[in-house]
């Protein structure tokens, strides 16, 4: 049986650190959305955010709904080209009353989240914030800063905890740097 752990050069964030990051982000969101009328919708960006989102939503105390969007960006597997295309949209009639928190696995150029924030605001959402597990600020190509950032990481291609390379490795329970000979 293939062992995906062998395709990892080194572990960047282990399971204990991931739990700490998720609890800190959940506490920050709880404190910002503590008002009576503040019941945000967590909108996960499929598929990479799934693991992070399911941990985050269980760590939060504030009542939240969940939903998902899916986008595709054209480019090869490790470099996004910057064109964002929505392939699964929200289907909600009452967006003007909603406070949305877009949940992302990693911010790289910043194009995906910058686009999604303006898209959802244009659709009429009352407020849109973003939470990302990982951020690679060195790679930024547009002016964008998420409100909630789990951890800044250096410019390396990471896999695991939902993040893939060519659809593989999402099931690994930690975030690791992929071996260069596997790309
Ligand atoms: P951005 O629009 O910020 O350039 O790209 C964000 C998306 O690129 C992420 O949602 C993710 O799909 C992909 N991405 C960027 N860096 C990495 C990485 O190191 N590993 C993986 N697996 N995906 C990445």
162 CB within 6 A, ligand 1: no
Q: In what order do the strands lie in the sheet with 175-178?
A: 8-13, 175-178, 158-159
- The domains located in the chain, with CATH, are 15-30+38-158 (3.40.50.2020)
Q: Report, as an integer, the average pLDDT of 19-41.
A: 93
117 CB within 6 A, ligand 1: no
Which residues face 101 on adjacent strands? 42, 129
Q: Indicate yes or no: pTM above 0.85.
A: yes
Nearest CA to ligand 1 atom 17: 157
List C-alpha distances in Å: 158 to 16, 99, 124: 17, 30, 34
Catalytic residue positions?
Answer: 108
Ligand 1 centroid, distance to 181 Cα (angstroms):
19
Q: Report, as an integer, the average pLDDT of 65-81.
A: 77
Which secondary structure element, helix H or strand E, spans residue 72, and what is its range?
Answer: strand 65-75
Which of 87, 43, 93 lies closest to 68 in space, CA to CA? 43
- How far apart, in whole angstroms, are the C-alpha atoms of residue 65 and residue 126? 15
- Atom of ligand 1 at shortest range from CA of 163: 22
163 CB within 6 A, ligand 1: yes
Ligand 1 centroid, distance to 40 Cα (angstroms):
24
Instruction: Convert the pLDDT of each residue in 146-177 to its tens digit.
Output: 999 999 999 999 999 999 999 999 999 999 99
**67, pLDDT greater than 60:** yes
């Amino acid at each position: 049986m293939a062992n995906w752990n062998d395709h990892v050069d080194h572990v960047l964030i282990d399971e204990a650190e991931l739990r700490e990051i998720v609890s800190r982000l959940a506490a920050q969101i709880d404190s910002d959305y503590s008002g009576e009328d503040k019941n945000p919708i967590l909108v996960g960006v499929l598929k990479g955010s799934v693991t992070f989102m399911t941990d985050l939503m269980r760590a939060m105390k504030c009542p939240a709904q969940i939903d998902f969007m899916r986008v595709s960006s054209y480019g090869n597997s490790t470099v996004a080209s910057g064109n964002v295309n929505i392939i699964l949209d929200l289907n909600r009639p009452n967006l003007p009353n909603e406070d949305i928190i877009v949940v992302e696995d990693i911010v790289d150029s910043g194009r995906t989240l910058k686009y999604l924030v303006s898209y959802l605001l244009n659709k009429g959402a009352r407020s849109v914030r973003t939470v990302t597990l990982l951020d690679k600020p060195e790679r930024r190509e547009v002016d964008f800063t998420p409100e909630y950032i789990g951890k800044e990481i250096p410019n390396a291609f990471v896999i695991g905890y939902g993040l893939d390379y060519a659809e593989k490795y999402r099931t690994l329970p930690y975030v690791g740097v992929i071996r260069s000979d596997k790309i």
